[in-house]
């Protein structure tokens, strides 16, 4: 008898507290908005296939919204589609289309404000101003989303995944095409970003500022307007990312501005105009990266100090290192440079004469960009050779004291 | 005319210099691809060969050939045959032999090891430069009275195109660095076939660097189809103009 009563109570609780509310034509509700109004905490709203044009839907309860067969939420180019605020909310499998644009507010397809533990998973977002906009939230997970924008100009397009003043976020396996910034962070700490793909965004693939203690792993940033820009942050780890084909006068694989105590390990820089551009950065550890076929592999401005470049491979770059001064406060060691033509008599795998990674012509083009047209001409090669013998223009102390004879195994 | 070209070609093949040149190119190219682990570095060395050795050999070989076959040319002139035909068939014979040397010596290894955009750009530039400098050498030889002067003039021309010209351009770029020089540099490159060939290859090889700064402008110009037409057109002018001048001069020359 007691057992029966207990079982009955349990059944009652599950019935009241974890209902599944179906939404769709011929279902209990035909409007998502209505279903959200009726839902209680811990309920699941299952949205079935169809197109829903309901303006802005606000969610503040602890509910799960799951889309079945890609239901379309249409913003009719006017509204924000989903605004989420609260805790323990999950949004899954929805297709967001054409959210509104505003020059006053950051309109987003999916906006998350003041939240705790929100999961956003398997959604597609198409033609949005901002796609996913997170602010003042902790423990947000953004996973497996596909975001595609239709880029017009920097002013008319928002960011793909935008986080502001958040912490402990996990962003993985998302793809972002054609937004302003692919992934944008401001005041976001202790977060993990991995396996994302950002391509053809009109400004940066990844852009973060004032975001400390974050890690970036295995992401690919390709063909974005200006590559990747990271600024004013501390203790950032970037590992095994790919930076490819970021072409343009001010496009960089990575722009490091005022980044300190951070590490870049095992990244691949391929075919960028500039692989890494460093400004005012200190105490960076840059190791085991591969730089191939870039215009400039690394540009280190004289405002950088205490950076340590070691065990990197440099192959097929037009220029290995560029700099704008003669002051050298950084250390290069144990890198492999394909332009190194020294010898190794004691056969320990390390060249016996130091390598000067700054060629004279990279100094000249720094002063006079037009001179780039003479690159690889016989005259320039002669000048470079003469400079190597008697350095006068290039910084004398910028040397790799232990250049490798064979590429480092990474 | 065909017959005469054929005789010139046979004559050149008989003295074996051209075969040695082919072998030299072939061995150098092959060993470069064998020695370097990535083909891009080998291409860089080949670029130097195409831009420096090729023009030099074309100039010197053509000049020496012209003076060596001077008696043959005199003999031909006594036949009922127009002088235009004589010099054109001489040109055809020499350029065909130099081109085949280049295609076998450099073309084959490139096709084997690096048959990509850069490789084809290299072959295109090499072909153009061979023709251009053969043509320039004919003009120089017709102009100069004896062999020593002819070779001297050719060497001078080679120094000018390969070395001095770029020095002058660099000087101009620095002297007038306060002015917008993009258009001027475009014009200046057109005035030197070696530079033109170099830029054509660079657009494939150093595309990433060229996209920086004003480089994007060069890329936009030379990389577009008008740019390719422009390059080809200027190269054609560089081939035909000296040859035409040589032919005009040769017609009136007291042999």
- Per-domain residue ranges of chain B: 2-252
The label of the residue with tokens 């072998």 reads B23
| Closest-approach residue (CA) in chain A for B174 | A368
Q: How close is the nearest chain B Cα to the Cα of A295, in Å? A: 3
Q: How close is the nearest chain B Cα to the Cα of A127, in Å? A: 30
Q: Which ranges constitute the DSSP H helices of A104-147?
A: none
Q: In whole angstroms, give the CA distance from residue A61 to residue A79.
A: 21
Q: Do B163 and A248 touch (CB under 8 A)?
A: no
Q: In whole angstroms, give the CA distance from residue A157 to residue A149.
A: 8
| Closest-approach residue (CA) in chain A for B166 | A379
Predicted confidence (pLDDT) at residue B19 exceeds the cutoff of 90:
yes
pLDDT tens, position by position, for chain A (410 residues)? 566 666 655 555 555 567 899 999 888 899 999 999 999 999 999 999 999 999 999 999 999 999 999 899 999 999 999 999 999 999 999 999 999 988 888 899 999 999 999 999 999 999 999 999 999 999 999 999 999 998 778 778 899 999 999 999 999 999 999 999 999 999 999 999 999 999 999 999 999 999 999 999 999 999 998 889 999 999 999 999 999 998 887 889 999 999 999 999 999 999 999 999 999 999 999 999 999 989 899 999 999 999 999 999 999 898 999 998 888 899 999 999 998 988 999 999 999 999 999 988 888 888 888 888 888 899 888 988 888 888 888 888 899 999 999 999 88
| Closest-approach residue (CA) in chain A for B212 | A249
Q: Do B41 and A248 touch (CB under 8 A)?
A: no
pTM, 2 dp: 0.87
Who contacts A300 (Cβ-Cβ below 8 Å, separation ≥6)?
A: A278, A307, A321, A322, A323, A330
Q: How close is the nearest chain A Cα to the Cα of B61, in Å? A: 21
The verdict on B48 touching A (C-beta cutoff 8 Å) is yes
**What is the predicted pLDDT for the residue at A2?**
63
Q: Do A374 and B169 touch (CB under 8 A)?
A: yes
Q: What is the pLDDT of residues B231-246, one digit of tens each?
A: 899 999 999 999 999 9
Sign of CA dihedral A393, A399, A403, A408: negative
The verdict on B80 touching A (C-beta cutoff 8 Å) is no
Q: Residues A257, A280: contact at Cβ < 8 Å?
A: yes
A293 CB neighbours in chain B (<8 A) are 40, 208
**Residue B194's closest CA among B103, B133, B118?**
B133
Q: Do B211 and A247 touch (CB under 8 A)?
A: yes
Q: How close is the nearest chain A Cα to the Cα of B11, in Å? A: 34
**Cβ-count burial of A196 within 10 angstroms (0-12 exposed, 13-18 middle, 19+ buried)?**
buried
Task: For residue A66, list its beta bridge partners.
Answer: A46, A92
Q: Do B212 and A273 touch (CB under 8 A)?
A: yes
In this prediction, residues B6-14 reach a mean pLDDT of 87
Q: Do A369 and B214 touch (CB under 8 A)?
A: yes
Q: Do A273 and B218 touch (CB under 8 A)?
A: no
A405 CB neighbours in chain B (<8 A) are none
Q: What is the pLDDT of residues B99-135, one digit of tens each?
A: 999 999 999 999 998 888 889 999 999 999 999 999 9
B41 CB neighbours in chain A (<8 A) are 316, 338
DSSP letter for each residue of B105-133: IIIHHHHHH--SHHHHHHHHHHHHHHHHH
A376 CB neighbours in chain B (<8 A) are 44, 47, 198, 202, 205-206
The answer to whether ipTM exceeds 0.90 is no
Predicted confidence (pLDDT) at residue B163 exceeds the cutoff of 70:
yes
Q: Which domains does chain A have, with CATH numbers?
A: 46-389 (2.160.20.10)
Q: Which of A316, A338, A374 sits opposite B166 (nearest CB)?
A: A374
The verdict on B207 touching A (C-beta cutoff 8 Å) is yes
Q: In whole angstroms, give the CA distance from residue B226 to residue B211.
A: 18
Query: Which of A370, A378, A404, A409 to probe the B interface (max B CBs under 10 A)?
Result: A370
- The helix (run of H) or strand (run of E) holding residue A361 is helix A360-367
**Residue B12's closest CA among B92, B75, B84?**
B92
**What is the predicted pLDDT for the residue at A8?**
57
The label of the residue with tokens 């609780």 reads A13
The verdict on B214 touching A (C-beta cutoff 8 Å) is yes
For residue A19, CA distances in Å to A11, A32, A64, A228 come to: 11, 15, 11, 45
Q: Do A370 and B214 touch (CB under 8 A)?
A: yes
| Closest-approach residue (CA) in chain A for B170 | A371
What part of B 5-44 touches A (C-beta under 8 Å)?
38, 40-41, 44
| Closest-approach residue (CA) in chain B for A251 | B212
Q: How close is the nearest chain B Cα to the Cα of A317, in Å? A: 8
In this prediction, residues B12-40 reach a mean pLDDT of 88
Query: Which of A321, A377, A386 to probe the B interface (max B CBs under 10 A)?
Result: A377
The verdict on B181 touching A (C-beta cutoff 8 Å) is yes
Q: Which of B40, B41, B208 sits opposite A294 (nearest CB)?
A: B208
Interface residues on A facing B, Cβ-Cβ cutoff 8 A: 247-249, 251, 271-274, 293-296, 315-316, 318-319, 338, 365, 367-382
Q: How close is the nearest chain A Cα to the Cα of B66, in Å? A: 28
Structure tokens at B72: 């043959």
For chain B, the 3-state helix, strand and coil shares in percent, each to the nearest 5, are 85, 0, 15
Q: How close is the nearest chain A Cα to the Cα of B23, in Å? A: 24
The verdict on B179 touching A (C-beta cutoff 8 Å) is no
For residue A126, CA distances in Å to A109, A150, A178, B18, B234 come to: 9, 8, 10, 65, 48
Predicted confidence (pLDDT) at residue B15 exceeds the cutoff of 70:
yes
Who contacts B100 (Cβ-Cβ below 8 Å, separation ≥6)?
A: B22
């Amino acid at each position: 008898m007691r057992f029966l009563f207990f079982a009955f109570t349990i059944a009652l609780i599950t019935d009241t507290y974890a209902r599944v509310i179906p939404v769709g034509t011929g279902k209990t509700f035909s409007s998502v908005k209505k279903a959200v109004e009726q839902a209680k905490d811990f309920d699941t709203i299952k949205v079935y296939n169809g197109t829903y044009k309901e303006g802005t839907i606000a969610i503040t309860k602890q509910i799960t919204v799951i889309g079945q067969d890609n239901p379309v939420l249409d913003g009719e180019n006017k509204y924000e589609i989903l605004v989420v605020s609260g805790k323990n909310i999950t949004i899954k499998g929805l297709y967001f289309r054409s959210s509104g644009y505003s020059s006053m507010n950051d309109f987003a397809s999916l906006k998350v404000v003041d939240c705790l533990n929100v999961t956003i998973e398997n959604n597609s977002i198409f033609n949005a101003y901002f796609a996913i906009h997170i602010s003042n939230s902790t423990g947000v997970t953004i996973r497996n989303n596909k975001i595609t924008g239709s880029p017009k100009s920097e002013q008319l397009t928002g960011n793909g995944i935008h986080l502001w003043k958040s912490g402990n976020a996990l962003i993985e396996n998302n793809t972002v095409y054609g937004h302003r910034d692919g992934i944008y962070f401001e005041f976001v700490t202790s977060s993990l970003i991995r396996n994302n793909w950002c391509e053809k965004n009109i400004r940066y693939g990844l852009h973060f500022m004032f975001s400390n203690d974050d890690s970036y792993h295995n992401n690919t940033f390709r063909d974005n307007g200006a590559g990747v820009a990271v600024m004013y942050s501390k203790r950032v780890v970037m590992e095994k990312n790919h930076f490819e084909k970021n072409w343009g006068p001010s496009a960089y694989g990575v722009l490091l501005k005022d980044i300190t105590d951070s590490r870049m390990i095992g990244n691949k820089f391929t075919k960028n105009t500039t692989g890494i551009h460093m400004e005012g950065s200190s105490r960076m550890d840059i190791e085991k990266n591969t730089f191939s076929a870039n215009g400039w592999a690394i540009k280190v401005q004289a405002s950088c100090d205490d950076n340590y470049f070691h065990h990197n491979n440099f192959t097929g770059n037009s220029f290995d290192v560029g700099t704008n001064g003669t002051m050298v406060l950084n250390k290069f060691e144990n890198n492999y440079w394909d332009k190194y033509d020294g010898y190794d008599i004691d056969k320990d795998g390390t060249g016996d004469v130091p390598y000067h990674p700054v060629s004279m012509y990279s100094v000249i083009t720094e002063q006079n960009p037009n001179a780039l047209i003479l690159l690889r001409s016989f005259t320039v090669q002669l000048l470079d050779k003469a400079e190597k013998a008697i350095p006068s223009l290039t910084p004398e102390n910028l040397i790799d004291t232990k250049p490798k004879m064979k590429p480092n195994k990474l | 005319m065909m017959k005469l070209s054929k005789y010139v070609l046979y004559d050149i093949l008989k003295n074996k210099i051209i075969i040695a040149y082919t072998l030299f190119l072939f061995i150098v190219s092959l060993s470069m691809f064998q020695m370097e682990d990535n083909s891009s570095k080998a291409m860089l060395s080949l670029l130097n060969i195409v831009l420096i050795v090729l023009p030099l050999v074309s100039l010197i070989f053509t000049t020496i050939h012209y003076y060596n076959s001077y008696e043959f040319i005199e003999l031909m002139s006594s036949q009922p045959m127009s002088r235009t035909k004589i010099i054109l068939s001489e040109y055809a014979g020499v350029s065909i032999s130099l081109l085949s040397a280049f295609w076998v010596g450099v073309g084959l290894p490139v096709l084997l090891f690096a048959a990509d955009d850069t490789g084809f750009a290299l072959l295109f530039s090499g072909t153009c430069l061979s023709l251009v400098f053969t043509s320039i050498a004919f003009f120089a030889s017709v102009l100069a009275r004896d062999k020593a002067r002819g070779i001297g003039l050719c060497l001078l021309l080679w120094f000018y195109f390969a070395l001095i010209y770029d020095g002058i351009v660099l000087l101009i770029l620095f002297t007038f660095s306060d002015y917008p020089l993009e258009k001027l540099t475009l014009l200046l490159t057109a005035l030197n076939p070696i530079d033109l060939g170099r830029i054509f290859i660079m657009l494939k090889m150093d595309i990433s660097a060229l996209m920086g700064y004003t480089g994007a402008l060069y890329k936009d110009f030379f990389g577009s189809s008008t740019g390719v037409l422009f390059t080809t057109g200027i190269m054609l002018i560089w081939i035909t103009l000296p040859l035409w001048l040589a032919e005009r001069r040769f017609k009136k020359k007291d042999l």
